[in-house]
Structure 1
Amino acid sequence: MKKIQFFIITKSIGLYLNALSYINLEEAKNKAYQLFSQPRKGRIKKEKLPKTLQNATHETFEYQTEKFQTYIWHGTRGGAERSEANEEAILLVHGWESNASRWKKLLNHLKPLGRTIIAIDGPAHGLSDGKEFNAPKYAEYINVLTQKYQPKTVIAHSIGGAAISFYLNKYKNHNFEKVVLLGAPSEFKILSDNFINLLSLNNKIKAKLEDYYFQKFNIHIDDFSGHKFAESFTQKAFIAHDTEDNVVLIDEGRKYASAWKNAIYIETNGLGHSMHDADLYQKIIDFI
């Protein structure tokens, strides 16, 4: 029943936007992009902060007119907690309609390493400002954070992985030594086409959206590809993707694996897109 309702709603929205495109194509494009870029879930409230994040040190950064939230678990040495991030800091980057609390299970595996762990709330997620979420904007948040803390390792899930790929391609940060990608999409065009097909939007809106992406991100949609970026990456990578991921298909993980020169690639079965699994997390710890 829910699938039928979802189908009716999405196709009704598409029908409305298609009709609007013949009257005001620019407005139809704007409304379509708004639907594409604004998450419906992933926000949290300070008064209802998940316990995982309550135990962290909170630090707020600024990017242009927006503020974004980070959470820090300081590393320990000899049983003494450090007040600043150590030289082996690990950055955690969540995906679409999520927030830093998604790392709860992985944190239990990471903390015994004694390294400082930094998790970020992406644009329009968690406690961060904004209404719009996209990989390039996420990459700018990451750039602001890494200028201060310079983590050596990054672990990213879903579109967080696409943001890291975009960031590494743009800023050439060689301070990162190890990159972990979990269920990460590679080609932005696939994400855009899936959205177009979901709503059955016409070719006029599709072309207008793709032109808007080029103006906004200064990169053609066909070149907005994580695995193409990865061809020049020198960091060691651990790439994992699940064969039953119906959000980001397995082919995307395989593209990363074939392009990244220094990568370990594994395929899991039955974890879906979330990829929460103790055995997988242990492999990540071994890699780090």
Structure 2
Amino acid sequence: MKKYIPKIVGFGINSVGILSPKYAAHLSMTLFSSPKKGKTNEKQANYLKEAKQDEVICNGITIKTYQWSGKKDTVLLAHGWESNTYRWKDLIELLKAEDYNVIALDAPAHGSSSGKLFNALIYSECIHAVAKKFNTSAIIGHSVGGMATAFGNYNFPLTQVKKLVLLGAPADFTGVFSRYIDMMGYNNRISKAMGKYVLARFNHLPEYFDAAKFTTNFKAKGLIVHDKKDRIIPYKDGLKFKQNYTNAEFLSTKGFGHGLKSELVYTHILDFLNT
């Protein structure tokens, strides 16, 4: 029964769209931007309490940050959808052992940060604010965190950011939207209304927000990692980044899925940061 719920909800929103496409678009976009999980639980909080905790206010949202101090460069970690800083636990320990100054943030509506809505554009502004405050030299983003990192580096480039790591990142908004629309079973009326909603809210249609193309002229060196068996973000998204991000190296993996939590991946990240 659970697998049919998105289609049932989508049918309801399609029905609303017959009378008011604009309101139906509002409902569909609110649903699209509302994470159902990702808040910090007790086990996670016990680990994170070892870090120095702070807050950054970004567009009225209180962003929770965590710091594990080190003498080397500052590395910022940006998690993905329905996750939080704890997902980086293994990598944090490796970075600490290398004496990096590690900063991580909980995205809007995730972890211990405030807010109810989340998308890559909102997130990109928050990542920028945190990177600026902590004088970050490298940013590692997973999934939507990777897409938001690319958006942020394009819209708000910081000269001190010299390296970017994009793990399983979506290449463009159109792909993300299309997978969401297919999952929910939205009709053409709703999909067109969603495009107009994005235009009104962010001044561009969804196809403008092409993270891979934005990387074309990035000065920061990049490391792109994507798994051939990623069932969340297609492998072709990683290849699109590879094609466009000319100042980046590409690591193709197989068997680590979307999470990319593996010793192999972490070794490549550390090698990339150390060079």
Q: 1:267 aligns with which of 245, 252, 255?
A: 252
Match of 2:95 in 1: 110
Q: 1:13 aligns with which of 9, 18, 32?
A: 9
Q: Aligned partners of 1:286 and 1:213: how far apart in 2?
A: 39
**Contact (CA 8 Å) 2:132, 2:158: kept in 1 or not?**
no
Match of 1:201 in 2: 186
Extract unaligned runs of 5+ from structure 1: 77-85
2:67 is paired with a residue whose SS is strand
Q: 1:282 aligns with which of 257, 264, 267?
A: 267
Match of 1:80 in 2: none
Match of 2:58 in 1: 63
| 1:81-160 paired onto structure 2 within 5 Å | 88-160=73-145
Please say which structure displays the higher CA radius of gyration: 1
Partner amino acid for 2:151? F
Match of 1:82 in 2: none
**Structure 1 residue 30, shift from structure 2 partner:** 1.4
**Structure 1 residue 50, shift from structure 2 partner:** 3.0
**Contact (CA 8 Å) 1:234, 1:261: kept in 2 or not?**
no
Deviations 1:222-244 (A, max 9, x none): 12111110001011111110000
Partner amino acid for 1:196? I
Q: Aligned partners of 2:60 and 2:208: how far apart in 1?
A: 29
1:22 is paired with a residue whose SS is helix
**TM value normalised by structure 1:** 0.91
**Contact (CA 8 Å) 1:109, 1:282: kept in 2 or not?**
no
**Contact (CA 8 Å) 2:147, 2:170: kept in 1 or not?**
yes
**TM value normalised by structure 2:** 0.96
Match of 1:34 in 2: 30
Extract unaligned runs of 5+ from structure 2: none
Deviations 1:62-113 (A, max 9, x none): 123221100000114xxxxxxxxx6x10000000000011000111211122
**Contact (CA 8 Å) 1:257, 1:265: kept in 2 or not?**
yes
Match of 2:39 in 1: 43
Q: Aligned partners of 1:266 and 1:253: how far apart in 2?
A: 9
**Structure 1 residue 48, shift from structure 2 partner:** 5.7
**Structure 1 residue 266, shift from structure 2 partner:** 1.0
Partner amino acid for 1:174? T
Deviations 1:139-164 (A, max 9, x none): 11122212221111111100000000
Q: Aligned partners of 1:115 and 1:7: how far apart in 2?
A: 43
Q: 1:23 and 2:8 equivalent?
A: no
**Contact (CA 8 Å) 1:123, 1:132: kept in 2 or not?**
yes
Q: Aligned partners of 2:167 and 2:102: how far apart in 1?
A: 18
Q: Aligned partners of 2:194 and 2:75: how far apart in 1?
A: 36
1:231 is paired with a residue whose SS is helix
Match of 1:223 in 2: 208
**Structure 1 residue 24, shift from structure 2 partner:** 2.3
1:31 is paired with a residue whose SS is helix
Match of 1:166 in 2: 151
**Contact (CA 8 Å) 2:26, 2:197: kept in 1 or not?**
no
**Structure 1 residue 193, shift from structure 2 partner:** 1.0
Match of 1:81 in 2: none
Matched residue count: 273
**Structure 1 residue 8, shift from structure 2 partner:** 1.8
Deviations 1:44-64 (A, max 9, x none): 25x664333111000011123
**Structure 1 residue 286, shift from structure 2 partner:** 0.7
Deviations 1:12-42 (A, max 9, x none): 1111111111122222111111111100110
Q: Aligned partners of 2:205 and 2:32: how far apart in 1?
A: 18
Q: Aligned partners of 2:125 and 2:175: how far apart in 1?
A: 22
